[in-house]
Amino acid sequence: MTDDRPGPAVLGQNQYGKAENRVVRITRDGATHHIKDLNVSVSLTGDMEDVHLTGSNANVLTTDATKNTVFAFAKEHGVDSAEEFGIHLARHFVTSQDAIRTARIRIEEYAWERIEAPGAGEAKHSFVRKNQEIRTAQIGYDGHRWQIVSGLKDLTVLNSTASEFHGYVKDRYTTLPETRDRILATQVHARWRYGWTDEATPMPPWDLAYEHTRRHLLHAFAETYSLSLQQTLYQMGARVIEQLPEIDEIRLSLPNRHHFLVDLEPFGLKNDNEVYFAADRPYGLIEATILRDGAEPAIPVDMTNLP
């Protein structure tokens, strides 16, 4: 006799922590101050059946305590780089709590630059937020191995020429005219994974690697004569893999920010690739991973949740 009733509910993957802790760390070197401005999110997994099933919090380190730890560690360890700060945190949660098996720290970093004011004398404590892009870091730890995925987002770039688009499939719903000269614009969202996983080996120079990756992404974007945004994306990713041996994988999510040439003929005007309408929605969305040959992909496919 079979039982066709659907099975009962069981608990699957679960994680928890405090999200978006906004910590600002000032370091004073005499009259010269330094600033680190982070948004830190903690996510923990472990022995958490009970709290879900019975509400017993016996294994639960509170999200409030994880928040306190972020601020206390900013004092105790300082913030050398987002990655290193995250490593301190992840190690602490996994090694200090029996019930915690893995920790994942996500960090956004906001860059500041100095205000060079002639009347400020020796004082160097004034800053203006740079705002160009947001740097990101994700630090994963299971007690044995590390996974570091760094990245950036909201870096908006544009080529005003050197972009063509033609030779594509023409199906029943294709109306787009081919073009030999268009604006190519996108908002770069990139995440790259370092090969470093073992604490016994030296860490990559996180800040330097970030600056190099950022620069290579910009240069590859500018230097690629583009026949499609996919081609540009691949060039950007491959450049990073080829130039930075410490990076094994990079994923790029590039919205195609359409700039439509405005038809000025009704007004007796010729638009010689001069006047464009910058559209909001819809937009093309081109996403791909570029890997070092032989590397296993580990960055999740979806980097946006929209819609």
Burial of 110 (0-12, 13-18, 19+ CB in 10 A): middle
Considering only residues 167 to 196 of the shown chain, the ones binding its own copies according to CB under 8 A are: 167-169, 171-176, 183
Please indicate whether residue 92 is annotated as part of the active site: no
Radius of gyration of the chain (CA): 24
For position 57 contacting its own copies by CB under 8 A, the verdict is: yes
Q: How far apart are CA 76 and CA 221, in angstroms?
A: 40
Which of 51, 101, 203, 212 is close enough to bind its own copies by CB under 8 A? 51
Considering only residues 91 to 110 of the shown chain, the ones binding its own copies according to CB under 8 A are: 96-97, 99, 106-108
Q: Are 303 and 287 in contact (CB under 8 A)?
A: yes
Please indicate whether residue 259 is annotated as part of the active site: no
For position 228 contacting its own copies by CB under 8 A, the verdict is: yes
For position 259 contacting its own copies by CB under 8 A, the verdict is: yes
Binding string, residues 124-163; x marks residues near its own copies by CB under 8 A:
-xxxxxxxxx--x-----------------xxxxxxxxx-
CB-nearer residue toward its own copies: 35 or 203: 35
Q: How far apart are CA 89 and CA 21, in angstroms?
A: 13
Considering only residues 278 to 297 of the shown chain, the ones binding its own copies according to CB under 8 A are: 278-295, 297
Which of 1, 30, 144, 267 is close enough to bind its own copies by CB under 8 A? 267
- The nearest distance, CB 101 to its own copies, in angstroms, is 14
78: CB partners within 8 A, 6+ apart: 25, 27
Burial of 203 (0-12, 13-18, 19+ CB in 10 A): middle
Please indicate whether residue 258 is annotated as part of the active site: yes
What's the half-sphere exposure (Cβ side, CA atoms, 13 Å) at 20?
A: 0
Six-digit token string for 143:
């007690």
Catalytic (active-site) positions = 18, 63, 258
